[in-house]
């Protein structure tokens, strides 16, 4: 009969211990024999024997020196252990515990907007369409290279981003588009995730539309009355139709929602770049086929009740300039300053900055975020709408500055700040009056002297073709406004901008009846197209205020090296006062950290207000601002009163406005305009033909 394994356990244990004792004894003998200082004649001198046997003991028992590498590994291990322990507690504790702790600290929590309005008797009424913005929608793989084996149908963008950590170069290859066509590279098919899960969460625990959807559900909405208009946010707007028929799908789904809800029109909620995408859609849908959707000039009037634009970059964002010029924004520049060279090094084959720029520059949709309207909207060399005239040549003792009070009453001190100068090479050129600045015309400087060893650069960056003379000419131009920034980008990246210019435009139309504005490149620019003929429709601009928002940059020429990005934000530059708008080489204004107020608010405050040439049917417009307030405590997460660009989708006041309009209210019913900034005053300073 076979005995159980436990029967033999004592026997094996005793044998193992005996073997270890014999091995230790043998090792000790070998140590004594191997020592050349031990005499073979077996001398009886105790002191000599003591010294002989102390030598190996001293060598073996000496403590190991604790290196910097050991400290780093121990620290990382400690942090990871704490993280996994906290994650374990979070996933094992009952859902009621965090709520109980929060209530014990702050008192009873307020009802979410959906619960509050349900108690008031509000119920689902108009179907709702959600239009996500740039980078927030999920993308999944449907065909890939050999390195992407096993990823078919799985997310490459969004979710856990696990594949980025496992195979970064393969991930970058698949998430980038073809530089020549603007579509997927041959042999690769990446497509947008569909359904509400496409953009409910960007990553695990980081909500995008999830809070809005949950509150809509509280008053009776469900999937049949909600539609997520997912699209591939990397492609130019018209290319989403050419490749995926995304615009046709949006048209069909809106028509289906209206038909299945008794003719009730939809309420559309575009966010961020989705605002511009939906502007493009409204012009496309009324354009005759095959260039457009063939819906006719009254399609929007028949199908749309209201468009509630959230965090709308109607006129672009200065952030996009820094991203296209040097793949930097404030936070990245600060990180680069804290760890010089780290993001430029080749780590596991991933040269971070250069690969990120190559990837970003293949995403044609990002061109839509370049500032529109030129100096008329964003200001010139010596003026900007937020600060009126900046008289840098005034007599000493005269203070011509103002305080940009905006949303929280004390954003920063604008003394010496001219927001019209989007890029300046040196702090002095950012402050000097234009009459004292001599600028070099860089556009005619040849690019013949390529950088040394630039032929070895395997990353597609047009900077490698510039040469030192061209780089110097760019810096010698000293100052760039919204009127010259396009010339700068065309000069440093002509292939890139040629592709972008075929899909987007950034000017102000002289005559909107000119047939050239029927081309799709103008449809996402509100200054070069008309709103639809829909007098009963309403358009809202809902945006956050009270947060420092990037408005301009001070650059420097980076130290010369092969295959590098030659321009960097000069993080060593600060303003003269503690509350200056200039910090770390970045000029800040008021906004939601991504979109300045002037971009989010101007069209509804003036450009479309009443009957104008941009709004011939007189669609009613409203500005609704949400003053930022940080979370009351750590347990509140990202906050219920946040004015930040993405966190705004969790702002209770904004969600309540959305729910009331979806339930049937009008703009007047919810209070009309609600502003904290000087958007109407700033808009009046903008001289534009209406």
Catalytic residues: 272, 592, 645
Phi, psi of 190 (to 5 degrees): -115, 130
Give the residue among 354, 358, 324 at the shortest CA–CA distance from 341: 354
Q: Which pair of structure tokens corresponds to residue 279?
A: 């502007």
CA distance 98 to 636: 10
Structure tokens at 130: 């959600």
Q: Which residues pair with 592 in a beta bridge?
A: 547
Name residues whose C-beta falls within 8 Å of residue 71's C-beta, 6 or more positions apart in sequence.
none
Separation CA 166–CA 348 (nearest Å): 11
CA distance 372 to 605: 17
Q: What element of type H or E holds 268?
A: strand 266-270
Those residues whose C-beta lies under 8 Å from the C-beta of residue 146, and which sit 6 or more positions away, are: none
Peptide bond into 290 cis (omega under 30): yes
Contact 464, 563 (CB under 8 A): yes
Do 539 and 604 meet the contact criterion of CB atoms below 8 Å apart? yes
Q: Which residues, 6 or more positions from 176, have their beta carbon under 8 angstroms from its beta carbon? A: 185, 358, 359, 362
Give CA–CA dist 574/576, Å, rounded: 7
Joined tokens for residue 166: 């496992």
Per the listing, tokens 């080489």 go with 585
Q: C-alpha 224: how far from its chain's center?
A: 30
| DSSP state, residue 540 | E
The three-state DSSP-derived secondary structure of 218-229 is HCCCCHHHEEEC
**How far is it, in rounded angstroms, from Cα 223 to Cα 216?**
10
User: How many angstroms separate the CA atoms of 293 and 285, rounded?
Assistant: 4
């Amino acid at each position: 009969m076979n005995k159980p394994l436990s029967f033999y356990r004592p026997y094996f244990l005793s044998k193992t211990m005996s073997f270890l004792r014999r091995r230790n004894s043998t090792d000790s003998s070998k140590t004594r024999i191997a020592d050349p200082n031990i005499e073979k004649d077996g001398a009886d001198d105790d002191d000599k024997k003591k010294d002989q046997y102390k030598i190996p003991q001293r060598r073996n028992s000496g403590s190991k020196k604790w290196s910097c590498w050991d400290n780093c590994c121990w620290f990382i291990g400690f942090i990871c252990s704490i993280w996994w322990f906290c994650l374990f507690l979070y996933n094992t504790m009952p859902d009621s515990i965090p709520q109980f702790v929060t209530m014990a600290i702050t008192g009873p929590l307020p009802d979410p907007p959906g619960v509050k309005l349900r108690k008031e008797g509000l119920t689902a009424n108009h179907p709702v369409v959600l239009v996500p913005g740039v980078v927030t929608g999920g993308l999944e793989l449907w065909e890939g290279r050999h390195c992407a084996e096993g990823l078919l149908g799985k997310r490459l963008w969004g979710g856990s981003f696990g594949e980025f950590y496992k195979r970064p170069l393969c991930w970058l290859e698949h998430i980038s588009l073809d530089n020549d066509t603007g579509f997927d590279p041959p042999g690769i098919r990446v497509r947008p995730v569909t359904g509400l899960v496409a953009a409910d969460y960007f990553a695990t625990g980081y909500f995008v539309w999830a809070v809005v959807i949950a509150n809509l559900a509280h008053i009776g909405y469900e999937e049949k009355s909600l539609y997520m208009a997912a699209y591939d946010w990397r492609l130019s707007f018209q290319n989403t139709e050419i490749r995926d028929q995304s615009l046709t799908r949006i048209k069909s789904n809106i028509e289906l929602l209206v038909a299945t809800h008794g003719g009730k029109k939809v309420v559309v909620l575009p966010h961020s770049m989705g605002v511009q995408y939906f502007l493009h859609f409204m012009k496309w849908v009324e354009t005759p086929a095959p260039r457009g959707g063939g819906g006719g000039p009254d399609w929007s009037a028949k199908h749309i009740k209201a468009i509630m634009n959230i965090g709308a970059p109607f006129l672009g964002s200065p952030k996009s300039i820094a991203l296209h010029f040097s793949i930097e924004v404030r936070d990245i520049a600060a990180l680069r300053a804290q760890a010089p060279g780290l993001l430029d090094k080749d780590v596991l084959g991933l040269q971070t900055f250069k690969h990120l720029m190559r990837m970003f520059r293949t995403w044609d949709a990002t061109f839509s975020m370049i500032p529109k309207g030129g100096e008329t909207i964003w200001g010139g060399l010596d003026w900007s709408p937020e600060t009126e005239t900046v008289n840098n040549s005034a007599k000493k003792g005269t203070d011509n500055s103002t305080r940009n009070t905006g949303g929280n009453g004390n954003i920063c001190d604008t003394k010496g700040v001219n927001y019209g100068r989007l890029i300046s090479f040196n702090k002095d050129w950012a402050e000097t009056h234009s009459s004292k600045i001599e600028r070099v015309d860089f556009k005619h400087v040849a690019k013949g002297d390529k950088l040394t060893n630039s032929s070895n650069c395997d990353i597609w960056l047009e900077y490698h073709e510039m040469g030192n003379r061209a780089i110097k000419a760019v810096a010698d131009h000293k100052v760039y406004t919204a009127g010259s920034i396009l010339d700068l980008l065309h000069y440093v990246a002509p292939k890139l901008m040629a592709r972008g210019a075929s899909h987007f435009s950034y000017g102000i139309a002289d005559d909107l009846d000119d047939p050239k504005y029927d081309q799709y490149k103008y449809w996402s620019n509100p200054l070069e197209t008309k709103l639809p003929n829909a007098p009963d429709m309403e358009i809202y601009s809902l945006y956050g205020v009270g947060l420092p928002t990037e408005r301009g940059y001070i650059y420097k020429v980076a130290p010369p090296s092969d295959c590098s990005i030659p321009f960097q934000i000069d993080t060593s530059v600060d303003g003269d006062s503690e509350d200056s708008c200039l910090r770390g080489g970045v000029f800040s204004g008021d906004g939601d950290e991504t979109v300045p107020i002037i971009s989010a608010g101007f069209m509804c405050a003036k450009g479309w207000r009443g009957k104008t040439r941009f709004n011939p049917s007189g669609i009613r417009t409203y500005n609704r601002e949400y003053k930022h307030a940080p979370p009351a405590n750590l347990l509140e997460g990202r906050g219920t009163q946040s004015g930040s660009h993405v966190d705004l989708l969790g702002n209770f006041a904004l969600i309540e406005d959305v729910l009331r309009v979806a339930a049937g209210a009008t703009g007047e019913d919810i209070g009309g305009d609600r502003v904290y900034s000087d958007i109407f005053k700033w808009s009046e300073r903008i001289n534009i033909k209406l």
